[in-house]
Structure 1
Amino acid sequence: MKKTALTIGLAVLALVVGVFVGTLPKHPTEGYPLTGHTFNTFKGGSLDLAALRGKKVVLNFWATWCPPCVEEMPELSALYPALKAQQVELIGIAVDNTANVNTFLEKTPVSYPVALAGFGGSELAEKLGNSQGGLPFTVVLDEDGNVLMKKAGRIQMSEIKAALGQ
């Protein structure tokens, strides 16, 4: 009888603990598509993309050897201050080797942060919907990481603004 009561008591305790643990809030970056992607930046330091959760984000994947990527960069750079003022993050994701990117950005600076993703950036781009693997590739995410817009090829600033509801 004591053994049965003890077994039932432990079962009830396990159930209570299980229910309690199930009601705990999940880690704030769980399920966020940028979680697990931390890259060095052109200006030094690193950028954990999971920290962008809670903000609208524009990610522009590019490479120094990609003419349309290079063509759109001055326009993105000009758009960045207005986006930043609206709490929208714009990040360039360089899918290229670090030496090429550093040399390029020293000659052609941009106003927005650039993450040095190397060819590993292609994996993130694919995860976000770049099934063809082409560059440039731009994706706009809402505060929870839902894709608002994605485009392979040269982007127009009006397309980014429209995706952000501007």
Structure 2
Amino acid sequence: MIRRSALCAALLLALAACQRGADDTPADAAPTGTAQATPGVDRAAAPSREQPTLRVDTLDGGVFDLADHRGRWVVVNFWATWCAPCLKEMPELSALDAMREHIQVVGLAYEEIEPDAMRAFLDERPVVYPIAILDPFAPPADFETPKGLPMTYLIAPDGRVAKQFLGPVTAEGIEAMIAEAGGPPVQA
């Protein structure tokens, strides 16, 4: 009973943040390097490790291991099927992953959903990046429990967390952050 109440409270908080991000943060807002000019960035919630680990089973039967992607920028995106801003950013994240060899995206579905239901959902909204379903009661240990969705982490090629975003992100914004941090410049 307590576990169910905790899940309901967490989902209500996530839903509130999901809606707040849709109203307060335009979907095309590009994140910037300063806290004041970065709508939707939650600097208080930081990953529990400077160089987090992440190893999850993906829907396609594979395994996504963050350590295997050292040398590339990795976008770790916590999302849910019921989150409108999450759904809006999926096509951009998919295009970013497909078009930029130096960037890898992974989607972490933060909800209770059966794999077959998720596969059916992704048949309607396909993406090219791997998707894993997380247990909302046991999120990855090296990442904070999302306080809202979408929650996105930008992991630098050395494995450290470069940025964290609460609310929707854009491909252009992510590329601008990478360029700011010394990565390849934004490509047209």
TM over 0.5: yes
Of 151-160 and 114-123, the range deviating more from structure 2: 114-123
Tell me the TM-score normalized by structure 2. 0.60
Match of 1:91 among 102, 106, 118: 106
Please state how far the C-alpha of 1:125 moved relative to its aligned partner: 3.8
Please state how far the C-alpha of 1:123 moved relative to its aligned partner: 4.9
In 1: Cα distance, 2:77 partner to 2:120 partner: 19
In 2: Cα distance, 1:148 partner to 1:62 partner: 19
Correspondence for 2:158: 144
Number of residue pairs matched by the alignment: 129
In 2: Cα distance, 1:62 partner to 1:138 partner: 9
In 1: Cα distance, 2:61 partner to 2:108 partner: 14
Please state how far the C-alpha of 1:98 moved relative to its aligned partner: 4.2
Q: Identity percentage over the alignment?
A: 37
RCO higher in 1 or 2 (8 Å CA, sep ≥ 6)? 2
In 1: Cα distance, 2:119 partner to 2:154 partner: 25
Residues 144, 97 of structure 1: CA spacing in aligned structure 2 closer, same or farther, 3 A cutoff?
A: same
Q: Is the 8 A contact 2:70 2:159 kept in 1?
A: yes
Q: Deviations over 1:70-112 (max 9, x none)?
A: 11111111222122x2x22111111123424233112211111
2:74 is the alignment partner of 1:57: yes
Correspondence for 1:102: 119
Q: Rg bigger for which structure? A: 1
Residue type of the alignment partner of 2:84? P
In 1: Cα distance, 2:158 partner to 2:97 partner: 21
Residue type of the alignment partner of 1:66? C
Match of 1:134 among 148, 153, 159: 148
Q: Is the 8 A contact 2:52 2:143 kept in 1?
A: no
Correspondence for 1:24: none
Tell me the TM-score normalized by structure 1. 0.67
Please state how far the C-alpha of 1:66 moved relative to its aligned partner: 1.0
In 2: Cα distance, 1:147 partner to 1:31 partner: 6
Q: Deviations over 1:121-154 (max 9, x none)?
A: 3655417xx5xx1110111111122222211001
Q: Is the 8 A contact 1:125 1:137 kept in 2?
A: no
Judging by fraction of residues, say which structure has more helix: 1
Residues 101, 123 of structure 1: CA spacing in aligned structure 2 closer, same or farther, 3 A cutoff?
A: farther
In 1: Cα distance, 2:170 partner to 2:56 partner: 26
In 2: Cα distance, 1:156 partner to 1:89 partner: 14
